[in-house]
Structure 1
Amino acid sequence: MNLIKLDAIDSTNSFLRRLAAHKELEDYTIVTTEKQNEGRGQMGTQWVSEPGKNLTFSVYKKINCLQKEEQFYLSMAISLAIYDALTYFGIPHLKIKWPNDILSANSKICGILIESIIKKGEMSASIIGIGLNLNQTNFDGVTNASSLKCLTGVFYNKEEVLLKIIEHIKKYEEWVINRQLFKIKETFESQLFRKDKPSTFKLKNGDLIMGFIKGVANNGCLIVLLEDEVLKEFDLKELKLLY
């Protein structure tokens, strides 16, 4: 493991991508930062984090055992690794909100952004960006956000939490390498937020629909049972789960 610690950077994902473009990186090259000026989330959203209070890092992970259409299995594996690490630290009421946010007691505590590096039409590596709210306690203007310290009252050591997450990522890496893809999906679905519960969704045109989350497809789409008893798949651009 090669650990690079930075005081401030635009984005740890962007930093690693630039680094990978110029040199061959060691597997599990990790970049952490105290302050991320242009942190990114899903669908171009911005990840806002109070400097020095949280765990913000990216991991360069070589991948040669998944096809491009199987990329979501890596996302599920990373979500499960963080879920297990937070379970180790006693964080209560954990769930995974599709596609890969980690919630505790219905509040978001962790976001994940995975960017694949494709060479000659095949996946060669992924840059796994993780933002975990650790010791921040003030979330003015941000709805449904919390931190480990808010939830437990405990002050957390960033490096200890980082090493525990990496330990669990390596555990699920073995599942990926051994092609235990069904097991990954089955375990992921068992921890899916609002699975089999009546939920409200917002479509990209602004319409609201009701349905039940039944699971995820192999391509990462959310499978929803609609009111007319029809199962339909939605990707991230088409659908937003409302609380």
Structure 2
Amino acid sequence: MEFRRSRAIVPVLEVLPEAGSTNDVLRQRAGGLPDLAVLVTDNQTGGRGRLGREWITPPGTALAISVLLKPVGLPSSAYGWFPLLAGLAMSRALGPLVPGGVQVKWPNDVLIEGDKVCGILAELLPDLSGLVIGAGVNLSQTREQLPTDTSTSLALAEATAVDADLVLSAYLIQLSTVYREFLSAGGDPIRSALRDEVVEACHTVGRPVRVQLPSGDDLLGTAVGIDEDGRLVVQSDAGRTAVAAGDVTHLRY
């Protein structure tokens, strides 16, 4: 994998022939790397998603991408927006390749016709000086190779291109753009207009949902928005609840 397009976008891009987890490798090396350094592999053997879920795909069929962010002068309270911004960036990158377009599921899954094509996992650096944004994109898996019946790949979605460098470069362009806009606004999602853009891209807002909360309780209601802290706002019989973390299911009734 040459990644000629992608290398021109970021200061450092290292291609790993294999990695247990690109997020783990990048976190370990973060001290000696600049802002927007990238590690990528098409053979990740120990990937993971949100809530500790495993993310493993056959070699050569998916991209595992990790991007280092070192936002100088940004309050740590703003870090919660980065998974949402990464999801927005990936949806913008993949959208032109897919006939029916793509959507974002709060907080950070990217969907094609309701099926997951990409998941994103943000993890803080141990010294809290920044974070690593991991993204796993399904490129060419067959239906039999996918981990769940609610997953898909760009090939299955009949994307106009499944080229790894094209996908990665498009994502890095979009992520770099929203990252700089966010920094220019001092991490303010309202002043940067990024909250409105995230809401517009978010397929969850406006839908009936079930949210399994960290406590184990279920919250049933309608997702009505995303607040200034990036939390999903759910209207239920009990009123409005702002959800910072939880497993969201889109309901069909």
The one-character-per-residue Cα deviations of 1:38-94 (angstroms, maximum 9, x if unpaired) are 101111111122211111111112212421111122222211111111123235242
Q: What is the TM-score of this pair, normalised by structure 1?
A: 0.88
Deviation at 1:118, TM superposition (A): 5.7
Q: How many residues in Structure 1 have an aligned counterpart in Structure 2? A: 236
Note the residue ranges of structure 1 that are not aligned, 5 or more in a row: none
Q: Map 1:202-217; keep pairs closer than 5 Å.
A: 202-203=212-213, 208-217=218-227
Alignment partner, residue 146 of structure 1: 152
Residue identity opposite 1:136 in structure 2? Q
Could you tell me which residue of structure 1 aligns to residue 102 of structure 2?
A: 94
Task: State the shift of 1:210 in Å.
Answer: 2.8
Q: Could you give the per-residue CA deviations for residues 110-148 of structure 1, whole angstroms, max 9, x where no partner exists?
A: 0011112264xxx52221111000111134551200011
Which residue matches 2:3?
A: none
Normalised TM-score (structure 2):
0.85
- d(CA) in 2 for partners of 1:181, 1:115: 20
Equivalences for residues 34-113 of structure 1 within 5 A: 34-113=42-121
CA shift for structure 1 position 234: 2.0
* Partner residue in 2 for 1:188: 198
The answer (yes or no) to whether the contact 2:95–2:101 under 8 Å persists in 1 is: no
- Structure 2 gaps of 5+ residues are 1-10
Say which structure is richer in strand.
1
Task: Compare 104-113 and 169-178 and name the one that shifted more.
Answer: 169-178
Give identity over the alignment, percent. Answer: 26
Distance 1:61 1:55 in 2: 19
Aligned partners of 1:198, 1:207: CA distance in 2, in Å?
17
How many angstroms apart in 2 are the aligned matches of 1:153 and 1:187?
Answer: 24
Alignment root-mean-square deviation, CA: 2.1
Which position in structure 2 is the counterpart of 1:126? 131
CA contact under 8 A between 1:65 and 1:176: conserved in structure 2? no
Task: Tell whether the 8 Å contact from 1:202 to 1:242 is kept in structure 2 after alignment.
Answer: no
Determine helix, strand or coil for the equivalent of 1:9. Answer: coil
1:6 to 1, 9, 16: 16
User: Does 2:237 match 1:231?
Assistant: no
SS in 2 for 1:80: helix
| CA deviation profile, 1:126-172 (whole Å, cap 9, x unmatched) | 21111000111134551200011100165511012111111111111
| 2:38 partner amino acid | I
